[in-house]
Structure 1
Amino acid sequence: MHKKNRHNQGYNFTALVKAHPDLLQFIIKNQYNNQDTIDFANPQAVKALNLSLLKSEYHVKFWDIPDGYLCPAIPGRVDYIHHLQDLLAATPKTLLPNKTPINVLDIGTGASCIYPILGQREYDWHFVASDVDPISIKVAKHIISADKSLNRNINCRLQPNSNHIFNGIIAEDEFYHLTICNPPFHSSLAEASKGTTRKIKNLNKGNHSSKNQDKTLNFGGQKAELWCPGGELAFIGKMIKESKAYQKQVLWFTCLVSKKDHLSKLKLSLKKSDAKQIKVIDMAQGQKISRFIAWSFYDIN
């Protein structure tokens, strides 16, 4: 994990239960090391863990999402935020005026609105949080409205056309220092279901749980969150094509890439689009390696 990630040392369940006592009922023992953990296949347990983390570490008192929506793992999500800050720190100051707030666009924010919440709390960034799903936007607005500082710094917008990414969201007079995105990476519902089942199986190795393990979609996720025609490669490809029209309004476009094999094609697309800067930034969370691709049409050097 990033050195600034406050979850580097794992979960302090004593502190988490103190912040949110409802978590206690979900704590179980890992059979390999006898450490406290939860059943990550149980969406209620994951939701309780997230609320505990948000309360204890980020001073967010209210956070709730409907059943069936993606419940994000906070340590991995905040890692992306810290690496984005590093990207900005390495950017010439002439492109980052001191008194200007950092403006960030989150593509596909989901009902959880997790990236804007974490980015606002860690770095006081200003966000526009967009999504194609009206329910996600409604829930995100409800979460944000419960906290004054979040409500002041996060603006939720519905993308009216699912064929568009930036078009319809970025206004003519707006400038963003960053765009961020956790894209849908499956190409079909069947593929998404298979991937979710595999993820749950891997996460629950060593956990004692009496619950029924046939919970293939308990990780949650609506269609727009988990899959789209052509999967991740097609989605990011569309993002690259659209980004050219907004090259003067965005300093750094970024997007998570789950499949390393996609990087060569994405880099080629970016070169064809005349991007002046292309970076791939690796992130490690335990044994898991993830990454995001970043590009800019500004002459960063």
Structure 2
Amino acid sequence: MHPKNLHKNGYPMNALCQSYPALKPFLVKAKSGNISIDFTNSQAVKLLNAALLRHYYRLDYWDIPDGYLCPPVPGRADYIHGIADLLKSTGGSAQSGQGQNVRGLDIGVGANAIYPIIGVTSYDWSFVGSDVDEAAVKNASVIASKNSVLADKFQVRKQRNSAHIFNGVIKENERFTFTMCNPPFHKSAQEALSGTRRKTCNLTRNKQKRSGGKFTDNQVQGLGGRSTKLYGKNASYQRQNANLNFAGQANELWCEGGELAFIQRMVQESVSVKNNVEWFTCLVSKSAHLKPIKTSINYYGATQCKVVDMGLGSKLSRFIAWTF
């Protein structure tokens, strides 16, 4: 993990329970003897997130509706710290990477609002979060209003046209230091379902390895990687996967053409707001997508393009950044 990631040394469960006592009934013991939670238990995962956000990021309130994405906090923090490094290394109006002169736009902020929470509390940045989902916008707005640490630092906007990414969200004379996005990965609902089933099987296999009520070390690290996600608007899908530890709505999981098509559309649309944004950034899950994305970025006339690698356990991730 990034050197500044507050979670690089794991989860101090006893301290988390002191900060957030509701987590305590969900603690279990791993084979190594470490205290953890059962990562196949959705309520335990949600409470762990709430405890992390209170303990490390000073939140008084955090909750998400059932069926919405419950993100792994450590990986989200790495993206924020990576952007801070990018700003510091490339100069511009936010060379220090810290303070009130930095303003971010989170595309697809979700009901959880994790990126603005970490960015505001870690670097004193301000944020706008956008989403096409009305319930997500409403819940993220509640999180913003119920936490004094986020006051005057975070606002949420509804993207009313799902065909657009920046247009309709960025105002005519508005300026952002950067944009960020965790794009939908899958190309279809069926592909999302297949991916979720595969990840669920892995989690279940790990759980079956427990001995005497003790869980495997894989489960101790269960929030280290990319979250398992569900296609939440399909009723039969929800019934089949009601007990999974993470959730997500359709727009969080898949779009026509998948990740590559979404990011290429983002690159194309970034041209129309290039005078409003210093750096555009986006997570890229599949390294094979980097080459065609770079081709698109060059085609539309960006002056710089950077790939920032991030490590998280045995999984490597990265985000791409471009500027005009």
Q: Do they fold alike, i.e. is TM over 0.5? A: yes
Aligned partners of 2:284 and 2:319 also within 8 Å: yes
Determine the structure 2 residue equivalent to 1:112: 112
Give the aligned CA root-mean-square deviation in angstroms: 2.0
CA distance in 1: counterparts of 2:55 and 2:312, whole angstroms: 21
Aligned partners of 1:186 and 1:228 also within 8 Å: yes
Give the direction of change, closer, same or farther, for the CA distance of 1:99–1:281 in structure 2 (3 Å limit).
closer
Determine the structure 1 residue equivalent to 2:72: 73
Aligned partners of 1:193 and 1:217 also within 8 Å: no
Quote how far apart the aligned CAs of 1:36 are: 1.9
1:169-226 per-residue CA deviation (whole Å, 9 max, x = no partner) reads: 000111111100000001111211222233344456544479xx96575410001111
CA distance in 2: counterparts of 1:178 and 1:270, whole angstroms: 16
Q: Which runs of 5+ in 2 are unaligned?
A: 215-239
Aligned partners of 1:197 and 1:215 also within 8 Å: no
Mapping for residues 49-88 of structure 1, pairs under 5 Å? 49-88=48-87
The TM-score normalised by the length of structure 1 is 0.92
Give the direction of change, closer, same or farther, for the CA distance of 1:204–1:3 in structure 2 (3 Å limit).
farther
CA distance in 2: counterparts of 1:4 and 1:100, whole angstroms: 20
Give the % identical residues.
50
Aligned partners of 1:39 and 1:204 also within 8 Å: no
Quote how far apart the aligned CAs of 1:24 are: 1.6
Which segments of structure 1 move beyond 3 Å, counting only runs of 4 or more? 93-100, 200-210, 213-218
Determine the structure 2 residue equivalent to 1:163: 163
Determine the structure 2 residue equivalent to 1:238: 265
Give the direction of change, closer, same or farther, for the CA distance of 1:224–1:214 in structure 2 (3 Å limit).
closer
- Give the aligned residue type for 2:279: W
SS of match in other structure, 2:310: strand
SS of match in other structure, 2:152: helix
Give the direction of change, closer, same or farther, for the CA distance of 1:5–1:160 in structure 2 (3 Å limit).
same
Determine the structure 2 residue equivalent to 1:191: 191
Q: Which runs of 5+ in 1 are unaligned?
A: none
- Give the aligned residue type for 2:296: S
SS of match in other structure, 1:174: coil
The TM-score normalised by the length of structure 2 is 0.86
Aligned partners of 1:196 and 1:219 also within 8 Å: no
Query: Are 1:277 and 2:304 counterparts?
Result: yes
Give the direction of change, closer, same or farther, for the CA distance of 1:25–1:178 in structure 2 (3 Å limit).
same
CA distance in 2: counterparts of 1:95 and 1:62, whole angstroms: 30
- Alignment size in residue pairs: 294
SS of match in other structure, 2:320: strand
2:280 to 253, 257, 267: 253
- Give the aligned residue type for 1:277: Q
Quote how far apart the aligned CAs of 1:136 are: 0.0
Aligned partners of 2:94 and 2:101 also within 8 Å: no
CA distance in 2: counterparts of 1:126 and 1:95, whole angstroms: 12
- Give the aligned residue type for 1:133: D
Determine the structure 2 residue equivalent to 1:223: 250
